[in-house]
């Protein structure tokens, strides 16, 4: 059975050279990621992939974001190099990489719009990767919604990746997040917050066919149904100044169910069962977050396949999660 890894990451050689040339300062997350052999060495990556039968990857760049790496005057160039280098890998290795997801220079919106058009129309990008905020600004600002509108007009999915830095403190009395809470709890929170804000902004009312793929099984959203359904609307009533933000005609829970969720759960079945209950089997896509696992690549692929094999699914449902849902989505 074909397995398509929908959300996994890479730093191509040409992109790393461009980062070294254009970066505006130290990049600790980037430096750590580059130390993972499968992230930067194709031979190592292929060796990992060969351990899994009929396994393919849709490529996307890893964080940090393009705009976090360099100034607006250079971010367009960096995004182009990243997208060109992934597109080249797809052409050279189509049996391994059926496609790639383009990145954008979101601190230079004119360049971002140009890169959407170029990446999709010239390079054949399967979709666009957006992060859950843009340098601290939500995705439901007017200028960011215009980016989403452009993607929707081209009928391409959005891959929604969480982002939050260590400098985002957990408590007001502290200067930075500790014990990796910024990542472990912060990223799922960022995902759910971005999802809710987009629903409230009416993205699915305006673009009902828009597909947005959430990383890490939809973050906190699947286990927050009650708080969303019976809390958020009440909260708005208690805070009438927020009422204008509700620009949707559907219930918030119904809107949130329109997202897709990948299976990158860091080896835990609980998020997968919750995501399946909330989004439905038809909205789940296999992903490993490769190569961010303790083994540097194979661990979460193997564990993810094992967990999906354990779930009470019909063969057709299991095949849909492993490859059918993403294939159907990309043909729409």
pLDDT the model gives residue 280: 98
> Looking at 24-28, 152-156, 284-288, which range is the least confident one?
24-28
Higher pLDDT, 320 or 331: 320
Chain segment 251-263, per-residue pLDDT in tens: 999 999 999 999 9
Structural contact between residues 279 and 261, judged by C-beta atoms closer than 8 angstroms: yes
Distance (Å) of CA 251 to CA 202, 234, 245, 255, 282: 11, 13, 14, 6, 20
Which value, in Å, is the radius of gyration of the alpha carbons in the chain? 19
- Judged against a pLDDT cut of 80, whether residue 16 lies above it is answered with yes
Chain segment 271-297, per-residue pLDDT in tens: 999 999 999 999 999 999 999 999 999
Mean pLDDT of the chain: 96
Say whether pTM exceeds 0.95: yes
Residues 122 and 93: their CA atoms lie apart, in Å, by: 18
> What is the enclosing helix (H) or strand (E) of 177?
none
How many domains are contained in the chain? Answer: 1
Higher pLDDT, 237 or 171: 171
What the block records as the tokens of 20 is 């070294």
pLDDT the model gives residue 89: 98
pLDDT the model gives residue 260: 98
Q: Which domain holds residue 183?
A: 3-331
pLDDT band at 237 (very low <50, low <70, confident <90, very high): confident
C-alpha angle 20-290-323 in degrees, rounded to nearest 5: 130
pLDDT band at 238 (very low <50, low <70, confident <90, very high): confident
Specify the CATH number for the domain of residue 76.
Answer: 3.20.20.140
Residues 269 and 125: their CA atoms lie apart, in Å, by: 31
Task: Provide the 8-state DSSP code for 82.
Answer: H
pLDDT the model gives residue 79: 98
pLDDT the model gives residue 234: 80
- Judged against a pLDDT cut of 80, whether residue 159 lies above it is answered with yes
Residues 48 and 309: their CA atoms lie apart, in Å, by: 20
pLDDT the model gives residue 240: 87
Average pLDDT of span 44-64 = 98
- Structure-token match 């940090």, residue found: 64
């Amino acid at each position: 059975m074909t397995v398509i890894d929908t959300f996994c990451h890479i730093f191509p050689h040409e992109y790393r050279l461009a980062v070294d040339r254009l970066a505006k300062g130290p990049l600790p997350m980037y430096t750590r990621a580059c130390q993972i052999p499968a992230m930067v060495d194709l031979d190592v990556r292929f060796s990992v992939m060969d351990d899994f039968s009929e396994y393919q990857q849709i490529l996307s760049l890893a964080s940090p974001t393009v705009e976090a790496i360099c100034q607006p005057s250079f971010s367009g160039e960096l995004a182009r190099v990243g997208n060109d280098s992934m597109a080249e890998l797809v052409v050279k290795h189509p049996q391994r990489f059926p496609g790639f997801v383009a990145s954008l220079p979101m601190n230079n919106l004119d360049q971002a719009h140009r890169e959407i058009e170029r990446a999709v129309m010239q390079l054949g990008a399967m979709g666009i990767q957006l992060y859950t905020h843009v340098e601290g600004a939500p995705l439901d600002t007017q200028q960011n919604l215009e980016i989403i509108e452009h993607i929707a007009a081209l009928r391409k999915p959005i891959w929604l990746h969480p982002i939050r830095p260590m400098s985002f403190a957990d408590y007001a009395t502290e200067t930075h997040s500790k014990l990796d809470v910024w990542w472990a709890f912060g990223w799922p929170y960022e995902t759910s917050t971005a999802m809710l804000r987009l629903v409230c902004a009416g993205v699915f009312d305006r673009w009902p066919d828009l597909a947005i793929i959430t990383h890490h099984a939809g973050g906190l959203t699947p286990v927050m149904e009650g708080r969303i359904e019976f809390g958020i609307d009440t909260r708005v009533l208690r805070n009438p100044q927020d009422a204008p933000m509700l620009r949707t005609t559907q219930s918030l829970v119904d809107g949130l169910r329109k997202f897709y969720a990948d299976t990158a759960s860091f080896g835990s079945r609980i998020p997968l069962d919750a995501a399946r209950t909330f989004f439905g089997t038809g909205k789940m896509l296999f992903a490993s977050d490769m190569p961010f696992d303790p083994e540097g690549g194979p661990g979460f692929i193997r564990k993810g396949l094992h967990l999906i094999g354990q779930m009470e699914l019909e063969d057709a449902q299991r095949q849909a999660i492993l490859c059918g849902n993403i294939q159907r989505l990309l043909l729409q």
